[in-house]
Chain A
């Protein structure tokens, strides 16, 4: 139960490791893990179902990054999808320009942290140069107004308590008070209520009608479980809020509720509340939240690492080719990469002008020929692959016999390699020339160019 998701995902990774392409079964396995992760993060059950279905579709149709293992690719897709779903970092409160005072109303369940959030919001607005007024409209919980008054005095914001009996009267009274005291924003703290409590929901609607708030924010406890969907749906239907403050995120709750809220109501998360100090109201970061929900900050690290390593590998390869020339191993690697991406025909279809170029090639390249070339290269010794120049007539004969091809075909391959190596030599010359003028910087530019060349050809370094 307490095993971290990272461990479990790692297990799945291990099972999938070494596979070049994702099959639907692989994706199903990964999706099951993701489903568990989301459920453990308290994302609502139905939301999980929809989300996983969508992710699966994305995985099936999306391009895969070669530098990542299949499982990592899945995680990347899920993470991206989750981040997009969680919405923007827009934490602005939309307030009417021509209205004084503006009114912000807070609603939520009991114990979700409304009163604390009200004080934090007041503190934030005050630091932005506003002059907020707190309205203590929680007339139900004993001493709720006292709590707000205490918090208000700590942050230097005045609190309107009214008669402390009729919440609607306190709310309307607070507007008058704000007008009298030149406060430009009123924050209405209301009593906690259950979404099924008809009377209390009525009261919230009555307060809303009385003060016509510019923004209604719903305070949601990050630890809330599956029921969050019922709660927010009912609040959205009855009082209709504009955004959400997620409270108690300083704990270790994964806060899957954020996703449920977004998915069910479409309302943005505007702030996250991270502690008991008045300045702990923070901007919502969907990317961080996504990682938190998946419980996998470190896994993302792994992905980034993998990406970096792959890039470095590519850089190294490019550099080596510039320095030492193009080897048969490089040729082999490239061909294998083409295979992995779905074969020559598919790639040719994707690259404009490629088809014509290929038709000019002797004998015309197709996939079966690639297999033959592979066989030939496999029949070479290590030394021969690294330095094809040493392949003399005798060696050619041996290679031909070993691979079951004719000596002619071996000759053709070596000729092809020679052409490519000459091209590489030209580039090396260019690089040195440029290096003479621009030094290191232009050499890097050269490497970049080579990398891009590879990238433009569908991720592989396709030599033809």
Chain B
């Protein structure tokens, strides 16, 4: 049911291009110039970026000529698989392969705190001993926000007052987590723009301290808003250069945004997508499925 909702909302935004594709399909499914243009448009509108969209469309066009694919339906399928292949598979899921310590990084308003809250709720439900670390000591009321999530999930939040050094907060969190024998440690950090070099250095320190101190594997996850456009690539690149990211979480896919930028980032930087957020509820944070995602991006066969 949830999945349906996810598709329904994504379908909404694709209506026009899907109708165009279907038209070709019903009229005998012959592929002509307008089909390719339409396909390219669809991909661009999904925030995949004009460059990637053109490359993929050209690839596909070549393949269509080679394998004699003339029906829109066949091509769409080929496209979906072609796109899905762009995503690297995750060798390890930091939220199920325990013990694990995860740092959430990203720009302001990407949805880091909310994601931490949801994941903590999940952990509690499945009985995993978990702690939340509040290293966003900068934004007003970030700690309070996290504490509310902690209360909802029934999980302790380890943090310090606003203005404290985030690296030392992380140190405390890891230490406390070890003392309690927590299997999953989720640490929220302050949002920052990738262009602010001071804050990026601060974050690098936070990550280094955590990696050094922690005896359990540490993953650094970039949280990215699905509505983000082409700047997402700059963001991811900067964060990756500074922190050596392990993977991505794409949030706010419940709107009409299709999150094509996730594909661009994932394939370009070789980062797996761990979770996607498709709604406000705790359960709406789902495991990523490349084929499903690409179907939504292109428009499923119908």
Judge whether B144 and A226 touch: CB under 8 Å.
no
**Residue B41 lies at the interface, judged by CB distance under 8 Å to chain A:** yes
- Are B194 and A226 interface neighbours, CB within 8 A? no
Pick from A39, A147, A149, A225: contact of B139, CB below 8 A: A147
Known: A110-B109, A248-B193, A251-B194. A1 touches B252 (CB 8 A): no
Q: Which residue of the partner chain A has the closest CB to B53?
A: A39
Task: Find out whether the CB atom of A111 lies under 8 angstroms from the CB atom of B230.
Answer: no
- Besides the known contacts A147-B142, A223-B228, A250-B196, 10 further A-B residue pairs in the complex with CB atoms under 8 A apart: A42-B229, A45-B45, A112-B109, A113-B109, A116-B108, A146-B144, A146-B145, A227-B255, A230-B256, A248-B108
A109 in the interface, Cβ–Cβ < 8 Å? Answer: yes
Q: Name A253's closest neighbour in chain B (CB-CB).
A: B231
Contact indicator B227/A227 (Cβ below 8 Å): yes
Pairwise interchain contact B44-A39, C-beta atoms closer than 8 A: yes
Give bound CA distance, A147 to B162, whole Å. 12
Within B182-209, the residues touching A (CB, 8 Å) are 193-196
B13 within 8 A of A: yes
Q: Does A353 contact B (CB under 8 A)?
A: no
In the complex, which of the residues A141, A143, A147, A148 has the most CB atoms of chain B within 10 Å of its own CB atom? Answer: A143
Q: Does B80 contact A (CB under 8 A)?
A: no
B140 contacts A254, C-beta separation under 8 Å: no
Whose C-beta in chain B lies nearest to the C-beta of A195?
Answer: B255
For A146, the closest partner residue in chain B by CB is B141
Q: Are B141 and A228 interface neighbours, CB within 8 A?
A: no
Q: Are the C-beta atoms of B195 and A250 separated by less than 8 Å?
A: yes
Could you say which of A143, A150, A194 contacts B254, with CB atoms under 8 Å apart?
A194
**Cβ-defined partner of A40 (8 Å) among B49, B110, B139:** B49
Are A223 and B231 within 8 A (Cβ)? yes
Question: Contacts of B139 on A, CB cut-off 8 Å?
Answer: 147
Given A226-B45, A227-B256, A251-B194, also A221-B140 (CB < 8 A): no
Instruction: Please tell me which one of the listed residues A143, A224, A254, A276 contacts residue B141 in the complex, with CB atoms under 8 A apart.
Output: A143
Q: Is the CB of A226 within 8 A of B50?
A: no
Q: Is B272 an interface residue (CB 8 A)?
A: no
Q: How many A-B residue pairs have CB under 8 A?
A: 159
- Indicate if the CB atoms of A227 and B47 lie closer than 8 Å: yes
How far apart are the CA atoms of A221 and B229 in the complex, in Å?
10
A325 sits at the interface (CB 8 A): no
Nearest first, the 9 A-B pairs at minimum CB distance are A111-B109, A225-B229, A42-B229, A142-B148, A147-B141, A150-B140, A146-B141, A143-B144, A253-B231
Main secondary structure of the interface of A (DSSP, over half): loop
Q: How far is the CA of A110 from the CA of B108 in the complex (A)?
A: 11
Contacting pair A142 B227 (CB below 8 A): no
Min C-beta distance of B296 to chain A, whole Å: 13
Q: Which partner residue on chain A sits nearest B110 by CB separation?
A: A111
Stretch at the interface among B18-26, B28-36, B125-133, B232-240: B232-240
Contact B49 A252 (CB under 8 A): no
In the complex, what distance in Å separates the CA atom of A194 from the CA atom of B279?
Answer: 10
Q: Shortest CB–CB separation between residue A109 and chain B, in angstroms?
A: 7
* Complex partner residue of A196 from B12, B44, B196, CB under 8 angstroms: B12
| A20 → chain B closest CB, angstroms | 31
Contact partners of B237 in chain A: CB under 8 A = 2
Task: List A contacts of B260 (CB < 8 A).
Answer: 225-226
Residue pairs across A and B with Cβ atoms less than 8 A apart, 21 shown, are A1-B49, A2-B233, A110-B109, A110-B252, A113-B109, A143-B141, A143-B147, A144-B145, A149-B141, A150-B140, A150-B162, A196-B254, A222-B231, A225-B228, A225-B230, A227-B257, A251-B231, A252-B194, A252-B231, A253-B229, A254-B230
Q: Does A213 contact B (CB under 8 A)?
A: no
Contact call A227/B148, Cβ cutoff below 8 A: no
**B interface residues (Cβ-Cβ under 8 A, vs A):** 9, 12-13, 41, 44-47, 49-51, 107-111, 117, 139-142, 144-145, 147-149, 162, 193-196, 225, 227-235, 237, 252, 254-258, 260-261, 264, 268
Chain B residues, Cβ within 8 Å of A223 = 107, 225, 228-229, 231-232, 235
Whether A1 lies near B227 (C-beta < 8 A) is no
A276 CB contacts on chain B under 8 angstroms: 108
- Give bound CA distance, A44 to B140, whole Å: 33
| Residue A391 lies at the interface, judged by CB distance under 8 Å to chain B | no
The answer on a CB contact under 8 Å between B13 and A230 is yes
Which residue of chain B lies nearest to A257 when distances are taken between CB atoms in the complex? B229
**Chain A residues with CB below 8 A from B148, complex form:** 142-143
Question: Counting CB contacts under 8 A, is A64 at the interface?
Answer: no
Interface string of A216-244 (1 = CB under 8 A from B): 00000111111110110000000000000
Q: Are B195 and A251 in contact (CB under 8 A)?
A: yes
Answer whether residue A36 sits at the interface, using C-beta atoms and an 8 A cutoff. Answer: yes
Chain A residues within 8 Å of B108, by CB: 111, 113, 116, 248, 276
B140 touches A40 (CB 8 A): no
Partner among A35, A146, A230, A257 whose Cβ is within 8 Å of the Cβ of B140 = A146
Choice from A45, A251, A254 contacting B41 with Cβ under 8 Å: A45
- In the assembly, what is the distance between CA of A243 and CA of B231, in Å? 24
- Nearest to B225 among chain A residues (CB) is A111
How far, in whole Å, are A151 and B235 apart by their CA atoms in the complex?
A: 27
> How long is the Cα–Cα vector from A286 to B85 in the complex, in angstroms?
41
Please state if B13 and A227 are interface contacts (CB–CB under 8 Å): yes
- Considering only residues 133-172 of chain A, those with a C-beta below 8 Å from chain B are 141-151, 154
CB <8 Å contact, A226 and B141: no
Q: Which residue of A lies closest to B144 (CB)?
A: A143
Q: Does A122 contact B (CB under 8 A)?
A: no
Instruction: Determine the distance from Cα of A53 to Cα of B268 in the docked complex, in whole angstroms.
Output: 32
Residues of A with C-beta under 8 A to B50? 35-36, 39-40
B178 CB → nearest A CB, Å: 28
Q: Which one of A116, A142, A224 lies within 8 Å of B145 (CB-CB)? A: A142
Q: Are B229 and A111 in contact (CB under 8 A)?
A: no
Q: Which of A144, A145, A194, A231 has the most CB of B within 10 A?
A: A194
Chain A CB within 10 A, most for which of B147, B162, B230: B230
A147 touches B49 (CB 8 A): no
A178 interface residue, CB < 8 Å from B?
A: no
